[in-house]
Structure 1
Amino acid sequence: MARRKLSHEGTLVLDCEGLSKFVGDHEPVVALIAEARKRGMEVVISALALIEAVHRKTDSKRLAWVLSGLRIAPVGDEEAKSASTMLINAGLHGHEYAIDAAVAEMALRQRRPVVMLTSDVDDMTKLCGEKVRLVAV
């Protein structure tokens, strides 16, 4: 993966794949997160991305360490309603895209500029538009 420029300050959002690769110690993702922190960016995940990323083989100690340095954004009633509206506006169905919509909704509420590490660039583009800079992982 080529080195990508990150903004000073703002927020770095990890989707499920971004979190999974961070927990898995994937060097390019670890490097991007280290650079974001160096630049004063807060690193945030949606509570739903955490649920989606964890499985039987997840290293629980590594996960706990990673989570200790992240802000986990909850998903409540208002966030769910907003994510549902985003799905409708993007022409997507909640059955397949519910977690993506919750992550996108959360990303749009973060301190600007917002960068998201995601494996779903196409879907996140439909949901976030140009308001969030997407970096494929």
Structure 2
Amino acid sequence: MARRRLSYEGTLVLDREGLSKLLADEEQVVALIAEARSRGMEVVISPLTIIEAVHARTNKPRLNWVLSGLRVVPVGDEEARAASKLLMNTGLHGHKYAIDAAVAEAALREHRPVVMLTSDIDDIAKMCGERVRLVAV
């Protein structure tokens, strides 16, 4: 039997800091995610966010449990080209901002309204403009 796709009322995107704070069970981030879910929002991350946030001291069982409740959005050739275009349009360099660009690109293609929990307000704002509401964590 095929799984039915739920209809969500918007999307909450986590960047590295959002995921790190969720893994650390920080009250502010846990509360923001709970609020988003209560409003019917889907919580998503880029696969690159996982790579960026995980380190040797990451609690692997906690990571697996947290990831089981998130949708990991795909990053393929088309998404990479769109992220590259964001960098070119904003004058940012991929060497420093590649993962931010991939996360911003993912946010821009999600179901609106889109909110992102991020510690990088300035650079993400350059790439997303007014289309994504940014919340500092």
Which bin holds the TM-score, normalised by the shorter protein?
A: over 0.9
Give the C-alpha shift of residue 9 in structure 1. Answer: 2.0
Residue 32 (structure 2) pairs with residue 42 (structure 1): no
Report the equivalent of 1:31: 31
Residue 51 (structure 2) pairs with residue 54 (structure 1): no
The letter of the residue matching 2:54 is V
Report the equivalent of 1:3: none
Correspondence list, 1:75-114, <5 A: 75-114=75-114
Give the C-alpha shift of residue 74 in structure 1. Answer: 1.7
TM-score by length of structure 2 reads 0.93
- Residues in 2 aligned to 1:90 and 1:49: alpha-carbon distance in whole angstroms: 21
Give the C-alpha shift of residue 35 in structure 1. Answer: 0.7
Report the equivalent of 1:71: 71
Aligned residues: 130
Correspondence list, 1:105-124, <5 A: 105-124=105-124
| Root-mean-square deviation over aligned CA pairs | 0.9
- Residues in 1 aligned to 2:65 and 2:39: alpha-carbon distance in whole angstroms: 21
**Runs of 4 or more above 6 Å deviation:** none
TM-score by length of structure 1 reads 0.93
Report the equivalent of 1:128: 128
State, as a whole percentage, how many aligned pairs show the same letter. 74
- Residues in 2 aligned to 1:47 and 1:90: alpha-carbon distance in whole angstroms: 23
Report the equivalent of 2:10: 10
Residue 17 (structure 2) pairs with residue 22 (structure 1): no
Gaps of 5+ in 2: 1-7
- Residues in 1 aligned to 2:129 and 2:38: alpha-carbon distance in whole angstroms: 27
